[in-house]
Amino acid sequence: LAKTTQPISMDSYEGQEVNITCSHNNIATNDYITWYQQFPSQGPRFIIQGYKTKVTNEVASLFIPADRKSSTLSLPRVSLSDTAVYYCLVASVMIYNQGGKLIFGQGTELSVKP
């Protein structure tokens, strides 16, 4: 499994766009990049997943450069309720197909201030 590196913490203000970058230098050809959000005392919640270029859903955008050695989760116009820990995971599609395990890194604690 490719190891990921994220900033430990980030601060932002309401209404700002927040970009969290994750490094995964050893990403393999079959690996997907997935981001999860976790609030205190809750299980992680799926945010977005991508393989290359850009992916956008109703919650966030995910930017992946051509070399795929990093990815950036973009949260538009954050609110106080976006205060949470964000995890970047890299795992092979084979892991998903075969029920393989997901290993979490340390995550980024995002604090949104009024």
Partner 1 sequence: GAVVSQHPSWVICKSGTSVKIECRSLDFQATTMFWYRQFPKQSLMLMATSNEGSKATYEQGVEKDKFLINHASLTLSTLTVTSAHPEDSSFYICSARDVGSRTEAFFGQGTRLTVV
Of 16 and 21, nearer to partner 1 (C-beta) is 21
**In the complex, what is the shortest distance from the CB of residue 71 to partner 1, in angstroms, rounded to a whole number?**
15
Q: List all residues 6 or more positions away from 56 whose beta carbon is below 8 Å from its beta carbon.
A: 62
71-80 burial, b for 16+ CB within 10 Å, e for fewer? bbbbbeebee
Do residues 54 and 71 lie in contact, with contact meaning Cβ atoms separated by under 8 Å?
no
Residues 24-83 that bind partner 1 (CB under 8 A): 32, 34, 36, 41-46, 49
* Cβ neighbours for 58, distance < 8 A, ≥ 6 positions apart: none
Site size with partner 1, rule: CB under 8 A: 22
Is 13 an interacting residue with respect to partner 1 (CB under 8 A)?
A: no
Q: Which is nearer to partner 1, 10 or 16 (CB)?
A: 10
Site residues, partner 1 (CB under 8 A): 32, 34, 36, 41-46, 49, 87, 93, 96-97, 99, 101-107
